[in-house]
Amino acid sequence: MWEDIFQAIDGLYDEMVENRRYLHQYPELSFQEEQTAQFIANHYEKLGIPYKTNVGGYGIVATLKGGKPGHTIALRADFDALPIQDEKDVPYKSKVPGVMHACGHDGHTATLLALSKAVQPFQEQLPGTIVFLHQPAEEYAPGGAKPMIEAGALDGVDAVFGTHLWSDTPFGVLHTTKGNFMAGADRFEITIKGKGGHGAIPHHTKDAIVIGSQLVSQLQQIISRRIDPLKTAVVTVGIFEAGQAFNVIADTAKLSGTVRTFDSDVQDQVIAEIEKIAESVCLPYDADFDLNYLKGYPPVVNHKKEAEIILNDCKNVPGILGAEEVEPTMTGEDFAYYLMERPGAFYFTGAQKEGHHYPHHHPMFDFDERAMPLAAKTLIQAYRSYQKQN
């Protein structure tokens, strides 16, 4: 049966590409994915697979109960896009100005839809139950995973697996870890309140741009001089907004950035250091500041036994060129919430596109579509192996 399912997945490749490219042309931002959710629901409606809509937002949970006893395993795909202008010159370029699938979620959705169609004819032979989790709003905290869990998406589920088509990983190679895999991802905003004035009379002002510039520089010293070198953390300022005219000194400046950590004690230390540095930088200028710190997704921590399924069993899936245990990455994912509730593992499916090496969240992002059937096969292999081992 399993070889037949693999063949069925391969036979759906053209449909995967068609679905992925349709979704790529009509992306929707986090918490706004109404049409995408309807597209997914229509798929399960046509297949006759029972499903629930509006699970924790626009989430969809479809359930395929096998004819043989076994465990209930959830397989997850996300489906939101990013506020980025698509700059690729391809026929499936985004038709929505300023919005694109720059992270591969269109491919994740197409993969899981094809997998559900491939396994349905074998329903009576399947052990246990497959739960297809289609999750909105992965890109923007508080995310879609937590509301889906609170709405009961994992009720009755014994384990959960998910994969990310990864453009930085060689095509056909799987990457994961046993333990910490992806970092916790927080967001912060610092608003500096100075005093504006004429650009020719700086001594009558409290220059928010000068203060902000010093703050950006000193924030980098948190990692280099305050955090234990054996610990891992990142502080990045991604937005610096200030000023309206070349000859006017700005009275306010706004810095926005992200903090990535694996340990809660390091996270707490970084938060405290940000506040101390902001206070110490603003004090000599007699300026005020507001700090808004949002704790985002926790770290993605794979369970050892389930990660070993990916590393040991999925490497033998037809088309997979290898499975490697790698160093953790500082990127974040709200798949973390599923792993806090159930055993499971998250992994990268190599989808690097030859001659097109652009990273995730880049306006030119794309991936090798041949990785989608590989992702589908490894997900069902993880399901199969978990059933056998438990």
Sorting pLDDT into bands at 50, 70 and 90, what band is 181? very high
Which residues are annotated as part of the binding site for Mn(2+)? 103, 105, 139, 164, 361
* Catalytic residue flag (residue 28): no
* Catalytic residue flag (residue 207): no
Distance CA 372, CA 351 (A): 8
| First-last CA distance in the chain | 19
Give residues with Cβ within 8 angstroms of 308, minimum separation 6.
178
Ramachandran sector of residue 111 (left: φ over 0; alpha: ψ -120 to 50; beta: rest): alpha
State residue 285's pLDDT score. Answer: 96
Distance CA 218, CA 221 (A): 5
Mean pLDDT, rounded, of the chain: 97
Q: Which of 28, 78, 80, 273 is flagged as catalytic? A: 80
- Whether pTM > 0.85 for this model: the answer is yes
State residue 124's pLDDT score. Answer: 97
State residue 36's pLDDT score. Answer: 98
Which tens digits make up the pLDDT trace of 86-143? 999 999 999 999 999 999 999 999 999 999 999 999 999 999 999 999 999 999 989 9
Concatenate the DSSP letters of all residues of 357-389 into one string: ---TT-TT----TTHHHHHHHHHHHHHHHHHHH
Query: What is the share, in percent, of the chain residues with pLDDT greater than 90?
Result: 99
Would you state the structure tokens that stand for residue 140, as one six-digit string? 């923007």
Concatenate the DSSP letters of all residues of 103-128 into one string: SSHHHHHHHHHHHHHHHGGGGGG-EE
Q: Virtual CA dihedral for 309, 311, 314, 320, nearest 10 degrees?
A: 170
Which tens digits make up the pLDDT trace of 300-318? 999 999 999 999 999 999 9
Strand partners for 76: 133, 162
Distance CA 299, CA 339 (A): 10
Sorting pLDDT into bands at 50, 70 and 90, what band is 171? very high
State residue 102's pLDDT score. Answer: 98
Which tens digits make up the pLDDT trace of 212-252? 999 999 999 999 999 999 999 999 999 999 999 999 999 99
Sorting pLDDT into bands at 50, 70 and 90, what band is 61? very high
Element (H, E) at 349: strand 344-350
Concatenate the DSSP letters of all residues of 250-304 into one string: -SEEEEEEEEEES-HHHHHHHHHHHHHHHHHHHGGGT-EEEEEEEEEEPPEE--H
Sorting pLDDT into bands at 50, 70 and 90, what band is 278? very high
Distance CA 309, CA 312 (A): 5
CB atoms within 10 A of CB 7: 12
Give residues with Cβ within 8 angstroms of 113, minimum separation 6.
16, 19, 40, 43
Would you state the structure tokens that stand for residue 203, as one six-digit string? 């001594």
State residue 197's pLDDT score. Answer: 96
Nearest to 166 by CA among 385, 383, 12, 346: 346
DSSP letter, residue 170: P
State residue 383's pLDDT score. Answer: 98
Let me know: does 105 contact 40? Beta carbons within 8 Å.
no
Which residues are annotated as part of the binding site? 103, 105, 139, 164, 361
Query: What is the share, in percent, of the chain residues with pLDDT greater than 70?
Result: 100
CB atoms within 10 A of CB 335: 28
Q: Which of 86, 138, 186, 334 is flagged as catalytic? A: 138
CB atoms within 10 A of CB 361: 13
Let me know: does 290 contact 251? Beta carbons within 8 Å.
no
Q: Which domains does the chain have, with CATH numbers?
A: 2-182+299-389 (3.40.630.10), 184-296 (3.30.70.360)
Distance CA 135, CA 260 (A): 23
Distance CA 369, CA 17 (A): 7
